[in-house]
Amino acid sequence: MHLKRLLWLLSLCVTLVIVTPAQSSHRFDFGPGQTAAGYTQVLPETLYNQERGYGFEPGAALKGVVRDGKDALRSDLITSTQPFYFSVAVPPGNYRVTVTLGDQAEATATTIKAELRRLMLESVATSKGQFITRSFIVNVRTPQFPGGEVRLKDREKTTEWWAWDEKLTLEFNGAHPAVCALEITPVEVPTVYLLGDSTVCDQPREPYNSWGQMLSRFFNDRVAVANHAESGESLKSSLGARRLDKVLSLIKRGDYLFLQFGHNDQKEKGEGLGAFTSYKSDLKKFVVAAHARGAVPVLVTSVQRRTFGTEGDAQGKITNSLGDYPDAVRQLAREEQVALIDLHAMSKTLYETLGPVGSGVLFKEGDGTHHSNYGSYELAQCIVAGIRANKLGLAKYLVKDLRTFDPAHPAAFAQFAVPPSPQQTNVKPLGN
């Protein structure tokens, strides 16, 4: 009996050693004024280093402001005239991030992105003396998993490293961001895993963007979006890089796996390769694997390229540049009885609604495949419309202010107000 109790105590100690770090919360009071009880003070000069484990990323001109008041959290703040980044070292997992925004003396406007430009909060405005507390979920990951690690591309080790490092990084952007307080707490919530190509992945720099980066904006703080898509990937290369293995090491009952490939798969040539052969059979592997872990697979047809016809009946209409690949996805969805979001059809409607010239605002200039911030935002709304149309349980986690979206009636580009992130590139994403 004593031996059993000793073994139980030893197992409990091991469990505590493993679990406790991931269960700790971080609470930060921004500004040079009085620090609220239980919070860590953050000053403009608090730069991130590994020893401290939190702080601002270098580059921004930050300003600490102190106002009168008895509320320690709301009587001071940090702001800037340019976007700025704040990072906290955390283990892999999902985290509820709660921010308090506002200023006693001025109106504010704050947009928040996470990791690689994942849109979390859009244009949160406060009037003079008003404060708003909002929460959202950020997924943090590393390449390692039991039995191996993801085979990262060179760009993932450089410009995309924030998607894989040991930190949770927040971008504070907008016309007048004002941050009073920040709390980060590990949580267990349903997770939406994304696998796909450059039209899905977290693009690291402006002016490129993908619908997977915008999707998190449309969910509340009861669900996470974990974007494991990557530029240039096909189903075969994603398997080879062990991206599916990474997802399968994490995914559980009640989670979702969204799959959108095709752009790069259609370029793979050889005996036995094709939409209704190798592509469909590989896609089925992903579906079966998700089902085996109790997760819900969702198939997404490839987003259209901007390929307008120029003559006869094709004039002003998108011509399909993806061959049989969208139909192969539709066929598999029917056979396996899984949810289908027909982004191929919805994006055709979206592009044609704006027309051969007007649709240019959906894309990076001169690129007919990769999207702008506006384009990816509209496509993310197509995905949300598909979630609703399929009556997925996931729909209950959508934000309350969400309107019904129709790709034939997109929001005007002039009304789009998500501010760009600071870092720019002329390097085209992999794939086409």
pLDDT (tens digit, 9 = 90+) per residue, 42-55?
A: 999 999 999 999 99
Q: Encoding tokens for residue 413?
A: 């580009």
Name the DSSP class of 172.
E
Cβ(109)–Cβ(123) below 8 Å: yes
Instruction: Return the higher-pLDDT residue of 13 and 230.
Output: 230
Mean pLDDT across the stretch 411-421? 96
What's the mean per-residue pLDDT of the chain? Answer: 93
The DSSP element (H or E) to which 373 belongs, if any, is helix 373-389
Distance CA 386, CA 381 (A): 9
In the 3-class helix/strand/coil scheme, how is 316-329 assigned residue by residue? CCECCCCCCHHHHH
> For 208-253, how does the pLDDT look when each residue is reduced to its tens digit (9 = 90+)?
999 999 999 999 999 999 999 999 999 999 999 999 999 999 999 9
- Quote the CA–CA distance of 396 and 145 in Å, as a whole number: 30
Provide CB contacts within 8 A for 300, sequence distance 6+: 196, 258, 259, 260, 329, 340, 341, 343, 383, 386
pLDDT tens string 40-86: 999 999 999 999 999 999 998 999 999 988 899 999 999 999 999 99
Q: Which residues of 211-248 are buried (b: 16+ CB within 10 A; e: fewer)?
A: bbbbbbbbbebebbbbbbbbbbbbbbbbbebbbbbbbb
Beta strands in 248-407 (DSSP E): 256-260, 296-300, 339-341
pLDDT tens-digit map of 73-129: 999 999 999 999 999 999 999 999 999 999 999 999 999 999 999 999 999 999 999
